[in-house]
Structure formats: structure tokens, C-alpha cells
């Protein structure tokens, strides 16, 4: 198991399905499961006609998540992402349809966000060492050298050949800003094929809601307070969608009184400023995952403008002053804590 950033990283779960009243109703059986994967605790709840149906559905969903983790984790020595990075500047790497698809989607979000979301930030993340206890502040010279390798346009995803190629030697992709959402979406597809119509899958704050609760009421999602470990800053009432939060409290270290977090601005190589938390609501977790990172980097004005331009996408932002602002489509669906 890789190192965690405790005590520098607070608990990985940023959002939690509020459990009050979440028991079986209308003859439905509630089945839960929790497993550690993708460097976080993945907690799932399904409602099924029989407990055995829910258990079998969750078993299939978790097996799919474990399989995808082995493909997409750049820290796993045998993953396809690791192979792509090792071959950077030399040759294309044949990959599975799933790896090719997520990289293609990541590149689409890079274009949509003007590079605010960029999977080629691997050299910068390695330089900052957010996966090591303590981390470090890189020198300006090393940041400049690493930033020269960051450019999503150097990624060649060849659908016909079924391969991915990084043009620059030393380039490195990291799917941490989109992979959890992608994996959660795939798990929900498995649940649907298993006959489940009411469920939640929560991968450390990347949440996908399947339908409503068995009684027909919406799910209540608590958005974690960025500065109070057990606090909730807002509650969303939603159904049949995905909710993902990116916050500066996920992976970070303190140097003096400055908080250095892992949500890096690809343009500067440094932690993005202005916001401390972004929660995106979208039809799928893949979309919400990528856009929560992008909006965090873009900041309040540009981030909200992007969200308002995208049909079916909403967002709730928390500024450095802990002011909560949200897009127009969340009106009536959000309650801000006093």
C-alpha cells in the first residue's frame, strides 16, 4: 500500500451521502459494501428486491473497479498508463479500449477548458511529491523544466491503432483528475445491468447516484466544509446524477503558514489559488470529476462562466474567504449551512 499524507491529508472522503432515513423501504433490501481502492475508500449502497441480488451486483461492480484501477493507476508498475509514460518520446503503446477511451475523454475536457484540465501534469506532481509525507516546494528552475513537459497536445490517442503515444521524452500522464469518476461510472453501468435502479457509489467524494431513494425522495449529499474536518458547508438534494468535489484539503502539505495542495495550474506549475473547494453536478462522474478540477484552476469568475455555458452541468464553489456561490441551476436544490 502506498504512503498516505496523514497527518497532512485529512480524510479522503469529501462528500458523504447523508444516511438519515436511508433504510430499506417498500420491500427493498439495502446492501452496502466498502473497499479500499484508487487510494481511497469506495463506499456503495444498493437497494434490491433481495439481499443476494444486491450482494452479487456489488461484487460484480467492485471487480470491475479493481480491474480498471490496474489499468489506469500510474503508480502501479504494470498499468497501461505506466507503460505509456515509460515509452514517452520513443514509441506508441497498445492499450485497452477503456484506457484509450478515458484518455480521449480527458483530451476533450482539456480542449473545452483551455488546458485548465491537463493530464500531462505528471512531471509537476512528481516534482511536488504530494504522495510523500511532507512534500516539498520545488525551485523555480525545476518548475520551469517540468512545466515544459506539460501540454495535452503532445498526447496522441490513435483509435485506429488502439495506441497512445507521448511525443516528448520525459512526459508523463496522470489520470488522477478523471479516473475515479470514470471507474465509478463503469461500476454504475454494472449495477444497472444487474437490475439495480436505486444506488449510490462514493469513491472518496466522487459520487454517482442511480435513480432516487426507494421511497422516491432525492438523495441528500453533504458537501464537506473545507476547513472543518467533520463539518458540512452545504447540502444538495439530487437524484440520478453525479456529484464530485475537488478541494485544497485532499492532498497538501504546509510550509510555514502556506498550504500547498495538489490541484496545480498547468500554466504555472503551482497550486491554483482563489478557491478552496469546487463541487460539480453532472449526468456522469467522469464529467464532474474533470470539470471540478478545471473550475478550481479557472477560479470563480471564469469557472462559473464555463459551468453556465454547459447544459446540464452545475457547480458549487467555496472561495478562500469561505463564501459559497453556485450556478443558477442549483437554485432550490442547495441549502448552505449557517
Q: What is the DSSP string of 11-30?
A: PS--EEE--TT-S--TTPEE
Comparing CA positions, the residue from 201, 157, 225 lying closest to residue 289 is 201
What pTM was estimated for this model as a whole?
Answer: 0.90
User: What b/e string do you get for 153-171 counting C-beta neighbours within 10 Å, with b at 16 or more?
Assistant: ebbebeeeeebbbbebeeb
Whether the upstream peptide bond of residue 320 has omega within 30° of 0, thus cis, is: no
Residue ranges covered by each domain of the chain: 72-166
Measured distance CA(152)–CA(267) in Å, rounded:
12
Residues of the chain with pLDDT under 70: 1-26, 131-134
163: left (phi over 0), alpha (psi -120 to 50) or beta: beta
216: left (phi over 0), alpha (psi -120 to 50) or beta: left
Residue 274, classified by CB atoms within 10 Å of its CB into exposed (0-12), middle (13-18) or buried (19+), is middle
Measured distance CA(238)–CA(245) in Å, rounded:
15
What's the CA angle centered on 13, arms 99 and 51, to 5 degrees?
80
Cβ pair 33, 44 in contact under 8 A = yes
Measured distance CA(184)–CA(98) in Å, rounded:
13
Residues 6+ apart with CB under 8 A from 135: 5, 8, 128, 129, 252, 253, 260
Reported as a single tens digit per residue, the pLDDT across 164-203 is: 999 999 999 999 999 999 999 999 999 999 999 999 999 9
Measured distance CA(102)–CA(84) in Å, rounded:
14
Query: Quick one: pLDDT at residue 9?
Result: 27
Query: Quick one: pLDDT at residue 25?
Result: 53
- CATH superfamily of the domain spanning 72-166: ApbE-like superfamily (1.10.3980.10)
Query: Quick one: pLDDT at residue 10?
Result: 29
Query: Quick one: pLDDT at residue 338?
Result: 79
Rg value, the chain, Cα: 19
Strand order in the sheet with 15-17: 15-17, 219-224, 232-238, 334-336
What's the CA angle centered on 231, arms 230 and 233, to 5 degrees?
150
Query: Quick one: pLDDT at residue 27?
Result: 73
Amino acid at each position: 500500500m502506498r504512503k498516505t499524507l496523514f497527518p497532512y491529508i485529512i480524510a479522503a472522503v469529501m462528500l458523504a451521502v447523508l444516511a438519515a432515513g436511508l433504510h430499506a423501504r417498500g420491500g427493498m433490501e439495502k446492501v452496502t459494501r466498502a473497499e479500499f481502492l484508487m487510494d481511497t475508500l469506495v463506499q456503495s449502497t444498493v437497494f434490491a428486491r433481495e439481499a443476494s441480488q444486491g450482494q452479487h451486483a456489488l461484487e460484480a461492480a467492485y471487480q470491475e473497479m479493481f480491474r480498471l484501477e490496474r489499468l489506469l493507476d500510474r503508480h502501479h508498475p504494470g498499468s497501461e498508463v505506466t507503460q505509456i509514460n515509460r515509452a514517452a518520446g520513443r514509441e506508441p503503446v497498445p492499450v485497452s479500449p477503456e484506457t484509450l477511451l478515458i484518455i480521449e475523454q480527458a483530451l476533450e475536457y482539456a480542449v473545452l477548458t483551455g488546458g485548465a484540465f491537463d493530464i500531462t501534469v505528471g512531471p509537476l506532481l512528481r516534482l511536488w511529491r504530494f504522495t510523500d509525507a511532507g512534500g516539498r516546494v520545488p525551485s523555480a528552475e525545476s518548475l520551469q523544466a517540468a512545466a515544459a513537459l506539460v501540454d495535452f497536445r503532445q498526447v496522441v490517442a490513435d483509435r485506429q491503432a488502439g495506441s497512445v503515444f507521448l511525443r516528448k521524452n520525459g512526459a508523463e500522464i496522470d489520470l488522477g483528475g478523471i479516473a475515479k469518476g470514470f471507474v465509478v461510472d463503469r461500476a454504475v453501468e454494472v449495477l444497472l445491468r444487474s437490475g439495480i435502479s436505486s444506488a449510490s457509489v462514493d469513491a472518496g467524494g466522487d459520487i454517482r447516484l442511480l435513480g432516487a431513494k426507494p421511497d422516491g425522495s432525492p438523495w441528500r449529499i453533504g458537501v464537506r466544509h473545507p476547513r472543518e474536518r467533520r463539518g458540512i458547508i452545504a447540502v444538495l438534494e439530487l437524484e440520478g446524477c453525479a456529484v464530485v468535489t475537488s478541494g485544497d484539503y485532499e492532498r497538501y502539505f504546509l510550509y510555514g503558514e502556506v498550504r500547498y495542495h495538489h490541484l496545480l495550474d498547468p500554466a504555472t506549475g503551482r497550486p491554483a489559488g482563489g478557491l478552496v473547494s469546487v463541487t460539480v453536478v453532472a449526468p456522469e462522474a467522469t464529467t464532474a470529476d474533470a470539470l471540478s478540477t478545471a473550475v478550481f484552476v479557472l477560479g470563480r469568475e471564469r469557472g462559473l462562466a464555463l459551468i453556465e455555458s454547459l447544459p446540464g452541468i452545475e457547480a458549487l464553489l467555496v472561495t478562500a474567504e469561505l463564501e459559497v456561490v453556485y450556478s443558477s441551476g442549483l437554485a432550490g436544490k442547495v441549502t448552505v449551512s449557517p
